[in-house]
Structure 1
Amino acid sequence: MTDTKQLGVEAQDGINRLYRRYAVWLDRRLRPHIGADAAADVVQETYLRAAPYAVSDIRHPKAFLLQIALNLVRDESRREGRRRQSQALQRPAEAEAAPQFDQVLLEQVIRSMPQLYRDVFVLNRFGGMTYPEISVSLEISVKTVEWRMSRALQYCASRLDL
């Protein structure tokens, strides 16, 4: 926001007249580009920025007010762009941290799993093998593969608080 200054009676009169004469025009000019709420805010801020100027020195009031308003809109657009860019730079770091943590945690759980369960779990989940393929590979029955897999999943769930 801008700093407010005490204006003399003459300056207040001039700003008030300027506002009454051009506020609606300026609002209508801005609405299609930035929306009704933002336009109303920009109109108010425009008059705050115009207040220190002597109204008698303003030759083209519409051009003067419109230039102030456009500068305000550009400033806000730049701030918004910087804010979005800052958020975009922060997101990847946050987005990468969670999966890396999850991966490390899962790896620790799998390493701490009993060997019988771990072999079946790793071959199925990471090796892409089916239960019958694991059965042949480990020379155990399919029922045993199913039982060990269920135990491996229970183990993971208990360690990961699922």
Structure 2
Amino acid sequence: MTDAKELKPEAAEGLNGLYRRYAGWLDGRLRAHVGADQAADVVQETYLRAAPYPSADIRHPKAFLLRIALNLVRDESRRLKRQRESSGGFGQDQSESASQAEQMMLKQIVLTMPPLYRDIFVLSRFGGMTYPEIAAARGLSVKTVEWRMSKALEHCVARLDD
């Protein structure tokens, strides 16, 4: 037997409406904290945690959802920190120095990129922005952003092959 409780129809509708209204916004906010790849997972977990609360009782849905999401991010960060500490640092020196070397190499490659491509590359890869968001922020078409990003990636590949 499971401990999971079935949602009442009105609660499911409220949660569905909450998701449709704020999931995109929450995903965008989380990208700054966890990156684009983990943001979707945190959004899903946030709505699982929000499910038991009646939507009619939620006065400030954005604040409510963001608080749950940031708590999840903080909990995961603490869990990873405890895991690193409990491993006793075994093998960390080598992986940290390799990571630092990779970061330095990436920084050098990015700095050698023409500014036209570098701007798009940095906003996408480090800023977590989507191509449409970059296009809107820079007053460009999405096709132009895609083209510049492809040129930036070609630059990276060419430098890595050297």
Q: Report the CA distance between 1:88 and its aligned residue.
A: 2.4
Residue 63 (structure 1) aligned with residue 63 (structure 2):
yes
Q: Which amino acid aligns with 2:26?
A: L
Q: 2: CA distance between counterparts of 1:5 and 1:70?
A: 25
Residue 49 (structure 1) aligned with residue 49 (structure 2):
yes
Query: Where in structure 1 are there 5+ consecutive unaligned residues?
Result: 93-162
Q: Report the CA distance between 1:91 and its aligned residue.
A: 5.8
Q: Where do residues 117-132 of structure 1 align in structure 2 (5 Å cutoff)? A: none
Instruction: Report the equivalent of 1:22.
Output: 22
Q: 1: CA distance between counterparts of 2:81 and 2:22?
A: 30
Instruction: Report the equivalent of 2:74.
Output: 74
Q: Report the CA distance between 1:32 and its aligned residue.
A: 1.9
Q: Report the CA distance between 1:90 and its aligned residue.
A: 5.4
Taking structure 1 as the reference length, the TM-score comes to 0.53
Q: Report the CA distance between 1:36 and its aligned residue.
A: 1.2
Q: 1: CA distance between counterparts of 2:87 and 2:69?
A: 27
Instruction: Report the equivalent of 1:127.
Output: none
Q: 2: CA distance between counterparts of 1:60 and 1:52?
A: 16
Which structure's CA Rg is the greater one?
1
Q: Secondary structure at the match of 1:88?
A: coil
Q: 2: CA distance between counterparts of 1:6 and 1:49?
A: 14
State the identity %.
70
Per mean C-alpha deviation after superposition, the further-off stretch among 17-26 and 29-38 is 29-38
Query: Where in structure 2 are there 5+ consecutive unaligned residues?
Result: 93-162
Deviations 1:50-100 (A, max 9, x none): 0000000000000000000000000000000000111125569xxxxxxxx
Q: 2: CA distance between counterparts of 1:79 and 1:87?
A: 12
Q: Which amino acid aligns with 2:58?
A: I
Residue 12 to residue 60, structure 1, CA distance change in 2 (3 Å): same
Q: Where do residues 136-155 of structure 1 align in structure 2 (5 Å cutoff)? A: none
Q: Which amino acid aligns with 1:70?
A: L
Instruction: Report the equivalent of 2:8.
Output: 8
Matched residues, number: 90
Q: Report the CA distance between 1:41 and its aligned residue.
A: 0.4
Instruction: Report the equivalent of 2:83.
Output: 83
Off by >6 Å, runs of 4+ in structure 1 = none
In angstroms, what is the RMSD of aligned CA positions? 1.7
